[in-house]
Amino acid sequence: MIKITISPINELFAARIEGIDVANPRIDEVFDEVRQAFDKYGVLIFPDQRISADEQQAFAERFGELESFPEASMQKKTPKVYNISNKSESGDLLGKDSVQARMLKGTELWHTDSSYRDVPALASFLFALEIPDSSETGGQTEFSDMISAYEDLPRALLEKLNGRHMVHNYEYERLYVDTELPPMSLDEKLNVPPVTHPVIRFHPHNGKCSVYITSNVGDVIGGYGYEEGRALHRELLDFVTQRKYVYQHQWLPHDLVVWDNRRTMHRVIPYDIDKQPRVMQRTTVSDVGPPVAPWMNKHSHTL
């Protein structure tokens, strides 16, 4: 019988799970416990895993259906597992001016994965193959707990957000952040047209509400003038990413980190992308439907 240890990392969210090899077929015995921990803590660290791309995919599929990435140009290992990497397929560092490295700049902005989709990501799985030298700065991943941030929102800010939606647009990064990136093809654009999601959402598995915004695929809150909406987005982003809501993960090789995109945001801390290899094996599980606002759910008690 497998016996796992779940150790909370701080009092708000995030936990380490030890005593488990996620590739072990006997994980069935404890998977309910793992899934409950996912809904409770939002970020799970599985240290010292030895998994192939196929084994990572099989573990992720226990949580739901996997996403494919919208852009054909991303380096892929299998159709549903790809590398987030600053190296070429032949293993050379690509350099900060490469398209791949510039695309990675978007991961330095606070975001929640695939919010640009009508049905965004439920869970992301990131497995550390190569990480920057720990004596150098950067390369960590930070997570922000959007449930705690929501629960602390000042009343005046909450009232401004009640019933609002945010526009999430995959093309935003090219239009506003790095206009020199090659344009998306028509097929890619049609695959991920802009969508809106409620700024406050309900979490169906823990009954809590959270803030649901991002900064890498948009910067406005609907229902306000453009500048006013951007200012409100900035104010909200600053509030929800205060250090008290943030857990910073210092990667070790073979860490597998799984997070709940419904109630966290994350970003990578900038590192020397020209000199320090950082190679992560990534899979993403899609949610089962669009985000649900609390007023759309009879089980939520908010506002």
Cβ at position 136, least distance to Fe ion in Å: 21
Rounded-to-integer distance, Cα 24 and Cα 21, Å: 5
**Residue 163 class from Cβ within 10 Å (0-12 exposed, 13-18 middle, 19+ buried)?**
middle
Residue 260 lies near Fe ion (rule: CB under 5 A): no
**Cα(227)–Cα(57) distance, rounded to whole angstroms?**
42
Nearest distance from C-beta of residue 171 to Fe ion, angstroms = 17
Q: Which residue, 261 or 300, has its beta carbon nearer to Fe ion?
A: 261
Nearest CB to Fe ion, comparing residues 114 and 300? 114
Residue 113 is a binding residue for Fe ion (CB under 5 A): yes
How many angstroms separate the CA atoms of 146 and 165, rounded?
16
> Count of alpha carbons within 13 Å of 213, Cβ hemisphere only?
29
Tell me how far, at minimum, the Cβ of 110 lies from Fe ion, in Å. Answer: 10
Site size for Fe ion (CB under 5 A): 1
Closest by CA to 9, choosing from 252, 250, 269, 208, is 250
Provide, rounded to whole angstroms, the least separation between the CB of residue 211 and Fe ion.
17
**Cα of 299 vs its chain's centroid, Å:** 26
Q: Is the CB of 49 or the CB of 216 nearer to Fe ion?
A: 216
Please report how close the Cβ of residue 32 comes to Fe ion at its closest, in angstroms: 27
What single-letter DSSP state applies at residue 86?
A: S
CB nearer Fe ion, residue 4 or residue 119? 119
Q: Return the range that interacts with Fe ion (CB under 5 A); candidates 73-81, 112-120, 194-202, 238-246.
A: 112-120
Choose the stretch contacting Fe ion; rule: CB under 5 A; options: 54-62, 106-114, 147-155, 273-281: 106-114
Pick the piece of the chain touching Fe ion (CB under 5 A) from 30-38, 69-77, 109-117, 237-245: 109-117
113 is written with which tokens? 């994965």
- Asked if residue 127 lies in contact with residue 255, where contact means CB atoms within 8 angstroms, the answer is yes
**Shortest Å, Cβ 268 to Fe ion:** 8
Looking at residue 208, the DSSP 8-state letter turns out to be -
* Binding region for Fe ion (CB under 5 A): 113
